[in-house]
C-alpha cells in the first residue's frame, strides 16, 4: 500500500494534541509513581505524591475529553486491506488503553479516598471521596492501581510496536496520520 | 514471664506510692485517650498519643491542692488511617515533631480553677518541640464511684504553628489546617478514702 492514500483521513489537530499530551503525561506519571513509592517518608515524598495525583487527574480529564471529541469526530478508518484479526486486535488495544486510562486514575483516586487523603488537583480543586475509608479499600485499589498501570504499559508496547510496523515495514501512513508535522506523502 | 512479674511489682509499688500521697490519681491508659484532631485537605484527621505518663492530684473540694502533669513520648503516636506508615513517619520529620531529637512533650499545670458550667480549668504550660506556650485546659470531672473518675475535655484549640509543627509545609496538594483540637478522656482511679 502506498503512503498517502489515507491523506484526507489523518487525525485532526485536536485528536493529535490530546493523544500526545496524554502520552507525555502518562510517561511522567508512571515513573514518578514508581519513584515516589520507593522513597522514605518525608515532606518531599508527599510533594511528589501531590504532583503525581495532579498529573493523574489531568490525564483522567483529558481522556474524558478525548472520548467526547471522538464521539463527534470519528477517527480515520484503518486501511481497507487490514485483515479482520488485526482490525480486531487494533480496536481491542485502543479500547483497552481507554479503559486503563480511566481505571488507573480512578483507582488512584479511590486509594487516596480510602486512606483519608482527599485528592487535590494542583492545589486548586479538592475532589470528593469516591469510596469509604478502610484498610480493605486502600489495599484493593492500591493493588488495582498498580496492576492497571502495568497492563497499560503492556498495551502501549503493543500499540507502539504496531505503529512502527505499519510505518517501517508496511510503509503506510498509519503512524504519520497521528504524528504532528509529519507529512503524509501524496501519491 | 519475668517481665510480667516486674510489671506487676512496679504497678503494685505505684499503687502504694499513690496511696501514700492521698489525692493522687492513677490514670488507666488502656481505657484513656488523648488525641489531636486536625484537617487534611479539609477532612478531619485524628492522631492518638499512645505513650504518656500522667501524674494528677485533684480534689474537687479543694482545687488549690490540684496539679496535673503529663509527659508524652510523641514518637508513639498512631493514625488509624495511616496504612503505609508514611503519615506518622512524616510527623516525626524535623519540620514536624522532630521525634528523633525531641521525643518529649509535656503539659504542666500551674493552677486549677473553677471554670464555667461546673467545668474546671487547668492553667499551665504546654511544651512541644521544646517550645513552651501558656495553655488553658478546660475539663469536666465525673466521678464513677468512690475510687474512680473520668476527666474529659471537648477540645483545647491550638494552632500548630505556635509550636512550629509543619513549618515549611507549604505545597499544594496536601493542605494541613493550622487549627488543631486536642481532646482527651482520662479514666483514673485512686484508693477509696
Ligand atoms: C494515568 C494516570 C496514572 C498513572 C499512569 C499512575 C501510575 C502509577 C504507578 C506506576 C505507581 C507505582 C505503583 C506501585 O509501585 O505501587 C503509582 C503509585 C501511586 N499512584 Fe498513580 N498513576 C496515575 C494516576 C494516579 C492518580 C489520579 C492518583 C490519585 C489521585 C494516584 C495515586 C497514586 C498513589 C497514592 C500511589 C502510591 C502508592 C504507594 O506508594 O503505596 N495515581 N501510580
Q: How many CB atoms within 10 Å of residue B109?
A: 22
Instruction: List, for residues A15-25, the tens digit of each pLDDT value.
Output: 999 999 999 99
C-alpha span between A48 and A84 (Å, rounded): 44
- The residue ranges of every structural domain in chain B are 3-189
The model carries a pTM of 0.86
pLDDT average, residue stretch A7-21 = 84
Q: What percent of chain B clears pLDDT 70, i.e. is strictly above it?
A: 87
> B18-31 pLDDT, tens per residue?
433 446 899 999 99
3-state secondary structure at position A68: helix
* DSSP states of B16-72: HHHHHTSSEEEE-TTT-EEEEEEEETTEEEEEEE--EEEEEE--TT-GGG-EEEEEE
Pocket test for ligand 1, best of A26, A27, A29, A126 (most atoms within 8 A of CB): A29
- CA gap B161, B177 in Å, rounded: 10
- Structural domains in chain A, CATH included, are 8-169 (1.20.950.20)
Give Cα A74 distance to the centre of its chain.
Answer: 18
What is residue A45's predicted lDDT score, i.e. its pLDDT? 92
Per-residue pLDDT of B177-190, as tens digits, reads 999 999 999 999 98
Q: Tell me, which fold does domain B3-189 have in CATH?
A: Lipocalin (2.40.128)
* % helix, strand, coil for chain A, step of 5: 65, 0, 30
Distance A108 CA to ligand 1 centre (A): 6
Q: Which residues of B touch A44 (CB under 8 A)?
A: none
* Cα B91 to ligand 1 centroid, rounded to whole Å: 22
From the list B53, B36, B22, B2, the residue with the least C-alpha distance to B166 is: B36
- The number of angstroms, rounded, from the C-alpha of B125 to the middle of its chain's C-alpha atoms is 12
Q: CB distance from A38 to chain B under 8 Å? A: no
Residue B122 near residue B143, CB atoms below 8 Å: no
What's the rounded Cα separation, in Å, for the pair A4 and A132? Answer: 53
Amino acid at each position: 500500500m502506498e503512503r498517502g492514500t489515507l491523506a484526507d483521513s489523518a487525525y485532526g489537530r485536536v485528536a493529535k494534541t490530546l493523544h500526545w499530551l496524554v502520552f507525555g503525561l502518562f510517561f511522567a506519571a508512571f515513573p514518578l509513581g514508581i519513584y515516589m513509592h520507593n522513597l522514605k517518608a518525608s515532606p518531599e515524598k508527599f510533594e511528589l505524591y501531590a504532583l503525581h495525583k495532579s498529573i493523574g487527574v489531568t490525564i483522567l480529564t483529558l481522556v474524558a475529553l478525548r472520548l467526547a471529541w471522538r464521539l463527534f469526530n470519528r477517527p480515520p478508518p484503518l486501511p481497507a486491506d487490514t485483515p479482520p484479526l488485526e482490525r480486531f486486535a487494533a480496536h481491542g488495544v485502543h479500547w483497552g488503553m481507554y479503559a486503563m486510562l480511566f481505571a488507573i486514575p480512578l483507582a488512584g483516586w479511590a486509594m487516596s479516598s480510602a486512606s483519608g487523603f482527599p485528592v487535590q488537583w494542583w492545589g486548586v480543586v479538592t475532589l470528593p471521596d469516591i469510596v469509604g475509608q478502610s484498610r480493605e479499600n486502600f489495599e484493593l485499589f492500591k493493588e488495582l492501581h498498580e496492576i492497571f498501570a502495568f497492563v497499560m504499559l503492556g498495551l502501549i508496547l503493543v500499540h507502539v510496536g504496531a505503529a512502527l510496523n505499519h510505518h517501517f515495514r508496511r510503509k503506510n501512513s498509519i503512524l504519520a496520520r497521528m504524528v504532528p508535522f509529519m507529512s503524509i506523502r501524496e501519491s | 514471664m519475668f517481665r510480667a512479674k516486674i510489671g506487676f511489682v512496679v504497678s503494685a509499688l505505684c499503687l502504694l506510692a499513690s496511696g501514700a500521697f492521698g489525692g493522687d490519681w492513677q490514670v488507666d491508659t488502656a481505657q484513656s485517650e488523648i488525641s489531636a484532631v486536625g484537617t487534611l485537605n479539609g477532612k478531619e484527621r485524628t492522631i492518638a498519643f499512645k505513650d504518656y505518663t500522667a501524674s494528677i492530684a485533684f480534689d474537687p473540694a479543694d482545687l488549690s491542692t490540684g496539679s496535673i502533669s503529663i509527659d508524652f513520648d510523641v514518637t508513639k503516636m498512631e493514625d488509624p488511617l495511616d496504612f503505609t506508615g508514611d503519615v506518622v513517619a512524616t510527623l516525626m520529620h524535623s519540620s514536624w515533631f522532630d521525634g528523633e531529637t525531641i521525643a518529649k512533650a509535656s503539659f504542666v499545670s500551674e493552677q486549677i480553677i473553677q471554670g464555667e458550667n461546673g467545668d474546671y480549668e487547668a492553667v499551665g504550660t504546654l511544651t512541644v518541640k521544646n517550645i513552651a506556650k501558656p495553655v488553658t485546659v478546660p475539663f469536666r470531672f465525673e466521678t464513677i464511684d468512690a475510687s474512680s473518675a473520668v476527666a474529659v475535655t471537648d477540645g483545647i484549640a491550638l494552632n500548630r504553628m505556635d509550636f512550629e509543627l509543619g513549618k515549611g509545609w507549604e505545597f499544594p496538594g496536601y493542605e494541613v489546617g493550622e487549627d488543631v483540637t486536642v481532646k482527651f478522656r482520662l479514666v483514673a482511679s485512686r484508693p477509696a478514702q
